[in-house]
Structure formats: structure tokens, C-alpha cells
Structure 1
């Protein structure tokens, strides 16, 4: 019979080893169960996740007079949640960390301890009340499509176990030799260095929360759910809403639109501020020289470890609204952490731009990054920005002129619309042209682009594994090219857009000496 044990707070975790003796000893390691308090967490989580199904079952039960529908659904969800505790076990051996899960389909997930690069900790409201945490183990490798279920997650462990467990699982990375051929015996395990706080969230930063679309997305989700289950229709048909709309209509359509927009702006700002406080309250960023440790959240807390050995740079995000308010957000560019898959690489949330730049310089260890001026890409790149920005207005104007030539009466608001498109397109083109630029520092490539979603990437040259020079038909006509630095970190590629074509290979040579010579003669 398989032996199961419950891990105690001060239990010894075997040291990492890859020897044959360690492999044999690992098979004798007991399989451990998650904390018994998980029995209170998972049933509630299952009910919350399937709350819409539960609501429908209660509605069907009420209409049919059989209220056992709702009771049956709740009972099944609770049983499923309880079964997850009985069918989930894990084992921490000297060679692997293993997890066995599955109520209907059994699965064994095994992670070599030598590949562990991060141990992230999260705790929701119920977890915090019960003294539990969720531990996620990462290997720094990109999961392919359809591999979301292969994430190594221990939900839930006693919070008292987490610090020692994380230290033990991350200790192996510190003991590995940095140079090929160097034995581990020559590299003694160093003492964990003390942490230094390099970034701290301030309550005043909540003023930057409304300068995003978060509040509007929340309102849209609430309205969608409300109408999906009939609540929104009932509210819309209520006498209070009808009376209010009639009163506003009596004042005119313009007043009604203005009041609606103001109400939307106020509500979206409130929701954005609340979401911002809950997600990022009490945030701290610490650095011990080896690991960046990010901790944030009021109700649901999250602790993320970012291994400096996998750090390849930073991304300063400046969306238009946030930029107008003088704010920015800072993310890390990490090997094995995919920005496209929304994996966490956050260093600072929306806050003052000056603070984001200070933390950026501290993280990458280069104070020049924030102040260095970026070189422009010339008149051809600027002309392309204006061509694209005015394309919609130009197309609309041609359509109106053709219609006018055929005797069609054009209303005044159509000409006003074209003028608005032209002014908006010109402003957008100007901002995009102003934001386009790049710079090369010893060991670094800096590139910036965009207007509505402007981003400034600082990419370490050592993290570049390849180059692509792309020239579309229209780019060739304009004499420009887009140079893409390929990297296993972040988004996988960082582009210098619409650079003069003759400067492409010199840029590559400046960032990666010798790389430009390989292709320069083949143009």
C-alpha cells in the first residue's frame, strides 16, 4: 500500500542531487498530501467557478417546482472538491519534485529540481483566512500551446511551510557552477544574501488607475453578465430607470448623452481605483543580488520570484492616457516568461514615470538608460506615420467627393466627420513619429515605438540569439526596414521599426559584433 504523510512545518527537505544513489533513495520518499484545510477551500472554489450553472439550476428548479436541482448541483460540486484532496499527492525528492492529480484522469507531473528557476506564491482571501498558500514552480521554459494543464501547482500548503520550501527548491540554482566544466564541489552554496528594497508602492499612485480601460472592461463584464441572466432587462424595465430616462430626455438628447458619459467616466474610475488597490496594494520590490522578489495584493496576495540570471532587460509601458498623466508601468524581460501568455513579469504597476525609470535603472544597473536620447528614423519613417494616420480621412474624403460628383447631397455632419478624422489622424501620426526611436549602448539595445500603447524596451545584447531584417513592398519603396532582435525572453522578438535600410546592418553589428558581417555581403 502506498504510504501518505502530511508534511510538518520544520520537516527536512532532501538536498538536491543527481546521483544514482539519490535516484534510488527518491523512490523511497513518501507521497505527501496537501493540507487538510484544503477541504474547505476547493468545494467553495468549485461552487464559485460554476456559479452561472448553479444560478440556472436554481431557476429551473423554481420554475418546475423541484428545488432539488440546485441542491444536487451543489452536492456534486462539493463532492468533486473533496475528491481533489484525496486524489492529489506530491513528493519532494533529491532529484525531482512530483505531483499526482486527477479525479477521473490520473496525471503525474515531474519537474527535475535542477531545472527549477522560480517558486511563486499566491493566496486568495480564503487561503489567507485559513493560513494557506498556493505554490507554483517554474522551470523557465516556455510551455507550448495546450500545455496550460502542465503547470506545477501545489494548492494548498500551509503558509508556515512556504519560506523553507521555496528556499530549498531555489537553493540548487545557487549551487550550480557558472562556467562549463567547473565542478559543484568547487562552488560552495553561499549564504542567502539580505534583501534590499528597491521599489515600494505608494497609496498616492491610485490616481493613475483611472487612466486605463480597466474600469470600462469591468462595467462591460458586469452589464454582460446581468443581461445574460435577465437581471439587466429587469432593471432596464423598472419604473425608477424609466422615470430617470424620461426626465433626462425632456432636457434634450445632448444632455442625456453628456450625463451618460459622465456617469460612465465616474463609475469606470471608481472600479479602476478599487481594482488597482486590491491588485497592487502593499506592493514591494526587493533585490538580493540573485533574485528579484515582487509581492503585492490586499485581498489576494501574490509573491513572484524573478531570477536575475534570466533577466534580459525591461519594458517601460506608457499607454497614451497614462503618459498624459505622467505615469508608466515597468515589466521585466525574462527568459522563459512569456509576455504573450500574460505570465507575470511585473516590476511596478501604474505609477510616476520618474519612479519607474529609477527602478528600471536600478534593476538593469545602468543609470544612462532613462536619460539617453533616442535617435530618430528619418523623414521616410515619419512620412509613413502620416500616410497611415491620414489614410482613413483621405479615403472618406475621396468617397464624399465622388458622391458629390454624382449629385448626391452630402450632409454637413459628414464633412465634420472627415475633418475630425483628419485632425485625429494628424495628432496620432505626430505622436507616433515623435515616439519612434532607438539607441545602442555597450551591451544594450533600446527601442521605442507606438502611441496609444507606447513601449520602450531595453534589451541586453547577450540575450539576442538572432536577427531578422524585414522589408515589405511599401518599406522597400520608402527605403526603410524593420530590424527584429530574436530572444527567448519576453515576447520573443523586439523590433526597431522603419529604420533606414542602409543602417540595418550597422545596427546589428553595433549590438552583436560580427553578426552583421555574415549577411552584409548577401544584400
Structure 2
């Protein structure tokens, strides 16, 4: 979102200020943001004996925060929404109301206690932090009506292809105005939180910072560690297992805490033109997604989640948030239900007006395997490094290098692991093409991966180009990788190791006539 090059049209609408209660919010948030600076000033003031060094930074931070209320004004005109900010460098943002694609609402614990909320306007384009249109903070009672007014121009519902839905369909659809709930959070879902890497992402920086400041040296030089080392291999092994269990417990608790605070009370509703997400325990967020920018969905199936019968769901969107998470770690049944609604909404309309869907929905369509060549390539890629490691050990042994025979267990143990990984990678490889029907466009479904598996469902109108790629070994094997380019989500969607003749047939099935004459 960029400031307009030319001034917005004149309007008689007066400029408004943010709620006065923000004078209690911004000083607190700014002080929290500059805690390291304040700690440094306190240390400097104490060591120098001049305690003024401890007060001056605090006064400057609080004073700067208070000036934001006096220097921030906004107004909502008939054609533009305008925002003026800045004390030393004045900045004016003007957004045409016709370009507004989302209005998100956020409120942390302090905002909620004071009855305030933060309103952010999105146009579907990338914006730097200084160019985002955000009103912090407004009276929470005024925000819903303001969001409705700002999104009034999107009142014409759209299908997943971005085409307007006939008026008679939307008027007769039940719950068309208040929205249909397509997913809601269940407290039991928190059991899936430790199966992702979010806990490690929280703990790892803390542990790294602690070791950087010498905690590791103190720990390993302690008398307790020396006593364990003197106790022999058994005590060391038991200590390692206990340490591993403690780390897993801490990481699991951190992942559960983050999951609860972020997704508590999640509700996903669809009113036919926008998708509304609301979630959060301490900080509540309300996200609005314009279905005109919806191009499909991705089901994330990491190994641990897949073994537990769970998955994650992301919406493939055009614009600022190309991969918007719709459902966090959740049972596969809940993910499939929401996915089916997003990709085949006609199946969920009232039976009196719903058009029966022809064939399977994109979320449950069976996939086509890629054949024996793709399977052989999976096995080759996983077993080759092990064979190389065994040859290196053999070369060292023939050269007379003395090493422990226990090293030979490494390739022996890794062989069954590699075989299982290769077979799982092949089972996860597949694709499907669903032809266009009277109620839905053609769909490209592709799946790949093992430790981190994605099932991408991309609508054909979202494909803007194709690439057929062959490496040296793929040319010898007669297979190719087909890449569908899109302006949404991951931008590139791969169909791996497909027989070359099937690659051209795939492109023609998804986008007829796009190949032209070859």
C-alpha cells in the first residue's frame, strides 16, 4: 500500500482523531518495546551516580508516545480513506475505497481492558511497515460498523473463481448475510500442538542466547556434570535420556501455550463474498479475506501430524497474505470439512437450491500415481548417500586407517530408515485434474513430500503460465517436472517426476489451448 501520488479528491468530511484512551495504551507499548534501552539507562545511571540518566529516556519515550494522539488524524470520505501521521516527518496515506480488500481487527489484552481495537485496512498488495493503513486505537463499539462501511463495495458475492454470483442465488441462500460457520475451534485440538516445530522455534532462541552468555560453560564445568562423567557410560546414557525428556516436555508446553493463546476460540465463517476468521485468547484478531482473491487451498501434512490423523489448512490468496492459515493443527476430518466448503461451496447450500456436484470435490479427489520411474528415483535419492558413506568407510579400512568398527552400524541402521522414507515419499507423490463443471472451474491437485507433505489444490483460472523442466537424469529416465505458475500462494506448484507424455496432457487438461501448436 503506497501513498497516492496525487492528492485525494476533496471532501467535506471532517478529520477525526483516535480515541483519547490511546493515551494510556501507547506509552505502555512503547516502554515495553524499549525495555533494553531502559535497562541500559538504569545501569548507566546507577554506575555513574547520576540517576537522571534513568529518568530521561523514560520521559522521552513516554512523551513521544503521547504525541501520536495529537499528530494522527483520519477521515472516511465517499471515495477515499485518508490518514495523516508523523511529528517531525508528516505522512499522508490515501486509499481508494474501491481498492479495499480486507479490514482486519486486532485487540490485545490492554486494548480489550480499555474497550479499544486496532483496525487495519488491506488492499491486497504488499506494504512496508511505515505505509500500512492502521488506526490504533478506536472505540471497539464503532469498529464493526466502520468495517461494514469500508467493505460495502464488496457486497456482490463472488465464487471461488472471482466471478459474481447471480443475485437470485445469493438472495435465496440461507445465512447469506450473517455468514455460515464452516469451522470452529475445539479445546481438544491442543493435543496436536506439540507435533509441530513451533515449540522448538520458541525455545531454541532462548537456549542459544543463554549459551552465548556463558551458561554452557558454567553447566559443563559444574561438579554435578563431573560426577556424572565419573559414574560411567550407564549414568551418562540415563542423563542424556532424562535431558531429552525434559527438553521434549518444555518444548511441548511451549507449543501448547502458543497454540492456546493464538487460536483460542477460532471461528471461521463464510458469507458468500468474504471469509471471516476470529481467534485469540489475550490478543483477539478478526481477519477478513476477500473470496475474489481466493485461488485454492493447501493441506499441510507434516509427518508427526499425519501419523496422528491431523493436518493444517491454508488458503491460497492473491495479494498481501498469499498463504493465510485457516485452520491450525486440527483433526483431518475438520480440515476436510472446511476444505470441501472452500473448494466446493455449492455442496453446502440449501438442498432446495444446491446444484449437485459432478464428480469428487477437489479436497477428496483420488490422486494418480507417477509410476515405477518416480518410485525408483525416490529410492535412488535416499539410498545413494548411504552407499557413498559405506564406500568411504571401506576405503578408509583398505587404506589402513584405524577407526572403531561401531561406525559400520551407521549405514546398516540407516538402510531400513531410507527405504521407509523412500516408500513414504512415493506414496505421497501424486496429482489429479478435475475438469470444469457448471458450478466450479477446473482444478489442479498436486501432492509431494514426506517429512513435510503438502497437498495443493489450485484452480485453473489462477494458473498464469507453465514450465516443463528436465534435469540430466530426468531426461535419461523419460520424466519431467511440471511447474504451474500462479500469482497466489507459493507462486510455483510442482508436479514431480511425471512421464513426459503425461506432462503435456496435464497442461492441456488444466488449461485447454494454452499449449498451442508444438
State whether TM-score is above 0.5: yes
Q: SS of the residue aligned with 2:362?
A: helix
Following superposition, the deviation at residue 244 of structure 1 comes to: 5.5
1:397-416 map, 5 Å: 397-416=390-409
Residue 372 of structure 2 is matched in structure 1 by: 379
Structure 2: gaps of 5 or more residues: 1-6, 160-166, 348-359, 436-441
Residue 198 of structure 2 is matched in structure 1 by: 214
* Cα distance in structure 2, aligned partners of 1:102 and 1:192: 42
* Cα distance in structure 2, aligned partners of 1:110 and 1:171: 18
Which of 414, 420, 431 is equivalent to 1:427? 420
Residue 326, structure 1, aligned to residue 309, structure 2? yes
Change (3 A) 1:37 1:244: farther
Residue 88 of structure 1 is matched in structure 2 by: 72
* Cα distance in structure 2, aligned partners of 1:102 and 1:392: 58
Residue 277, structure 1, aligned to residue 260, structure 2? yes
1:445-464 map, 5 Å: 445-464=444-463
* Cα distance in structure 2, aligned partners of 1:57 and 1:150: 31
Change (3 A) 1:427 1:414: same
Q: SS of the residue aligned with 1:336?
A: coil
* Cα distance in structure 2, aligned partners of 1:93 and 1:55: 45
Which whole-Å deviations, capped at 9, do the CAs of 1:346-369 have from their partners, x for residues lacking one?
Answer: 211101011101110011116633
Residue 151 of structure 2 is matched in structure 1 by: 170
Contact 1:400–1:410 (CA under 8 A) maintained in structure 2: no
Residue 477, structure 1, aligned to residue 476, structure 2? yes
Following superposition, the deviation at residue 330 of structure 1 comes to: 0.7
RMSD across aligned positions (CA): 2.8
Which of 337, 342, 351 is equivalent to 2:330? 351
Normalised TM-score (structure 1): 0.85
Following superposition, the deviation at residue 236 of structure 1 comes to: 7.6
Q: SS of the residue aligned with 1:294?
A: strand
Q: SS of the residue aligned with 2:433?
A: strand
Change (3 A) 1:82 1:392: farther
Structure 1: gaps of 5 or more residues: 1-21, 179-185
Q: SS of the residue aligned with 2:417?
A: helix
Following superposition, the deviation at residue 374 of structure 1 comes to: 0.7
Q: SS of the residue aligned with 2:282?
A: coil
Change (3 A) 1:384 1:69: farther
> Across the two proteins, how many residue pairs are aligned to each other?
479
Contact 1:23–1:94 (CA under 8 A) maintained in structure 2: no
Following superposition, the deviation at residue 205 of structure 1 comes to: 0.5
Which whole-Å deviations, capped at 9, do the CAs of 1:111-154 have from their partners, x for residues lacking one?
Answer: 111111111111111111111111111112345xxx34322211
Contact 1:337–1:489 (CA under 8 A) maintained in structure 2: no
Residue 83 of structure 2 is matched in structure 1 by: 99
Residue 5 of structure 1 is matched in structure 2 by: none
Residue 418 of structure 1 is matched in structure 2 by: 411
Change (3 A) 1:243 1:326: farther
Change (3 A) 1:86 1:278: same
* Cα distance in structure 2, aligned partners of 1:67 and 1:256: 48
Following superposition, the deviation at residue 108 of structure 1 comes to: 1.6
Which whole-Å deviations, capped at 9, do the CAs of 1:382-433 have from their partners, x for residues lacking one?
Answer: 2222222223322222221221121112312321222333333322222111
Which whole-Å deviations, capped at 9, do the CAs of 1:11-69 have from their partners, x for residues lacking one?
Answer: xxxxxxxxxxx97552x322221111111111211222222232233333333334433
Q: SS of the residue aligned with 1:156?
A: strand
Residue 505 of structure 2 is matched in structure 1 by: 506
Contact 1:58–1:69 (CA under 8 A) maintained in structure 2: yes
Residue 258 of structure 1 is matched in structure 2 by: 241
Normalised TM-score (structure 2): 0.86
* Cα distance in structure 2, aligned partners of 1:335 and 1:295: 21
Which 4+ runs in 1 deviate beyond 6 A? 189-192
Which of 139, 150, 160 is equivalent to 2:131? 150
Residue 395 of structure 1 is matched in structure 2 by: 388
Change (3 A) 1:176 1:237: closer
Contact 2:122–2:320 (CA under 8 A) maintained in structure 1: no
Residue 437 of structure 1 is matched in structure 2 by: 430
Contact 2:157–2:272 (CA under 8 A) maintained in structure 1: no
Following superposition, the deviation at residue 333 of structure 1 comes to: 0.9
1:35-74 map, 5 Å: 35-74=19-58
